[in-house]
Structure 1
């Protein structure tokens, strides 16, 4: 197995199946620029090989990929190094597009955390195997950022208003929820995950879905909790404005609605405005157009006070008490007085 990015990416070809393993377990496989470039380079090299599939996985059980190394992006912003941040996001989004357009099926094995950039690696590839330990989320509004890595393309294409709900609140999905939404495609227990690569290699001429379904059929999955509140999700997050979303949640008065409302009220007001507009427009855009729009947004948003404060509170000081600036545009918002 070949080492790349100082051993943080391991890659090889085994019986016609390309394997890329994320190997930065101490950082939950948070993506650096070097890691992104290494994955992209391997995939580019394999375009000329005779592979039947590519598998993306992790060497550790805690995380597939917890996202991008956003703490380093904050350091670049504080240092005024816009070029370093530009290289990271441009490289990451180029990799997202490559995975989406890759010539052979890409299968991601999601065992543990899969957030932000982890979804960018997995969701564009066609097949996402989740285990009972899988946790999927786009939690960016909680750190003053926005759902990127093509989220403005894939979230609006989830059933009903689920994508808007996930993008605005950062709600965490378990395996059952991931399968219900389509972010996960198959379930395999964690102790059987190593069998996936061998099964794909054993049956190179069978459709990937058939091979994975055969493995998945051995283990039943619990009922999705998100499915139980789907009607309320669509009713509230299908509203045309953020203000109406909050109003509808307030009128529902259920435990789920209160939790969703609390998530909105704790997020960056500016990030919520940006995210709502981005997801509303994303349904009309191609993936490439969505990635271009997201890249343009990163250039300004990573320098905003909310981004610097959100990452500080979540990842630097870890006090979880960000003090947001009021949204520059938009409506009056509950709790806005406390952020002044």
Structure 2
């Protein structure tokens, strides 16, 4: 049960009690604003009350001359944020409750505010980072992964699409990696999160408290100052190409991988796959705000459809892993039906 707590800062920093709901802790530490997502029992899943706490505080810190940087992290050691509160959204969508509109609208407004934040925004993605957790981190200037980081956008498996600005950052990853991650929900782990370009830096999990302390101890920090702190604690990694691409073992591995890829795509919602493909094609040429406007239209199309509810049932509720998609194949889904998902909502369109 949520309750109100009073947080007092260490003596070495200016004492400043801040009242906060326990699901999100909002602290001023030195010249840093620190956001802690505090629902460890549900892997720090993001809900609407949490969004409504984070957004105004972020805007306040952005305009506060005494706040130089913003740090966001997750409590509990297992997850930064494993996603949005999908079950609540599902029940709301079934009942016609406005939560199904409000959650996506306000979440995307927060995602845009993170992307536009004038202060260095630092996400410590130490642990599971999926869905809504990606939206809380990937649009910030600095994203720090560790060996515990597990990144994925698994939405096509539940009849949704990689939202929270996925249409913006995924097509900007090197090659077609973003499209692969979007369609398959493939999980990146540890150093691969930084190699892929999702994270900007990599730090061993045990060093993250030291990193955070150095950041909050900075005096009048600039983005360059923050970068220098990372340089002292971070490791940088790059893709290494195999020297044995032409070997028989490589060819067998490639054949096996393609087979697994086909099997993975066959389990996903055909509607989600087509929507996602078009989303990333369009998003590659759009700004983040324009992508979020597009994604809000898609979110409401999914709320009107049936695959989202069936996907949540199969994956999260009954857990039988056997969704009955409608339509059940890509061939049955017309281009016109997909196009309608991108149509304007008129007065209900997302605006910033």
Is the TM-score greater than 0.5? yes
Alignment partner, residue 121 of structure 1 = 136
Tell me the CA shift for residue 325 of structure 1. Answer: 1.6
Q: What is the CA–CA distance in structure 2 between the aligned matches of 1:84 and 1:321, rounded to whole Å?
A: 27
In structure 2, relative to structure 1, the CA distance for the partners of 1:297 and 1:328 (3 Å cut) is: farther
Q: Does 1:63 align with 2:64?
A: no
Of residues 121-130 and 320-329 in structure 1, the stretch that sits farther from structure 2 once superposed is: 320-329
Tell me the CA shift for residue 252 of structure 1. Answer: 9.2
Tell me the CA shift for residue 292 of structure 1. Answer: 0.1
Alignment partner, residue 327 of structure 2 = 326
Tell me the CA shift for residue 313 of structure 1. Answer: 1.0
Tell me the CA shift for residue 193 of structure 1. Answer: 1.0
Alignment partner, residue 299 of structure 2 = 298
Q: What is the CA–CA distance in structure 2 between the aligned matches of 1:308 and 1:78, rounded to whole Å?
A: 8
Secondary structure of the structure 2 residue equivalent to 1:136: strand
Count of aligned pairs: 306
Q: Does 1:210 align with 2:228?
A: yes
Q: Does 1:18 align with 2:23?
A: no
CA contact (8 A) 1:3 1:9 kept: no
Indicate the RMSD between aligned Cα atoms, in angstroms.
2.2
Secondary structure of the structure 2 residue equivalent to 1:259: helix
Query: Deviations along 1:273-325, whole A, 9 cap, x unmatched?
Result: 11001111111111111000000111121232211110011111122221112
Query: Deviations along 1:251-290, whole A, 9 cap, x unmatched?
Result: 9962222222211111111100110011111111111110
Alignment partner, residue 37 of structure 1 = 52
Q: What is the CA–CA distance in structure 2 between the aligned matches of 1:90 and 1:327, rounded to whole Å?
A: 29
Alignment partner, residue 289 of structure 2 = 288
CA contact (8 A) 1:17 1:197 kept: no
Alignment partner, residue 23 of structure 2 = 8
CA contact (8 A) 1:143 1:268 kept: yes
Alignment partner, residue 112 of structure 2 = 97
Tell me the CA shift for residue 330 of structure 1. Answer: 4.4
Query: Deviations along 1:107-132, whole A, 9 cap, x unmatched?
Result: 00011100011110000001111111
Alignment partner, residue 152 of structure 1 = 167
**Among residues 126, 131, 134, which one is paired with 2:149 in the alignment?**
134
CA contact (8 A) 1:53 1:106 kept: yes
**Among residues 176, 183, 195, which one is paired with 2:198 in the alignment?**
183
CA contact (8 A) 1:269 1:327 kept: yes
Q: Where does structure 2 lack aligned partners over 5 or more consecutive residues?
A: 1-6, 8-17, 246-251, 334-352
Q: What is the CA–CA distance in structure 2 between the aligned matches of 1:211 and 1:18, rounded to whole Å?
A: 17
In structure 2, relative to structure 1, the CA distance for the partners of 1:207 and 1:114 (3 Å cut) is: same
Q: TM-score, normalised by structure 1?
A: 0.85
Looking at secondary structure, tell me which structure has more helix per residue.
Answer: 1
Q: TM-score, normalised by structure 2?
A: 0.82
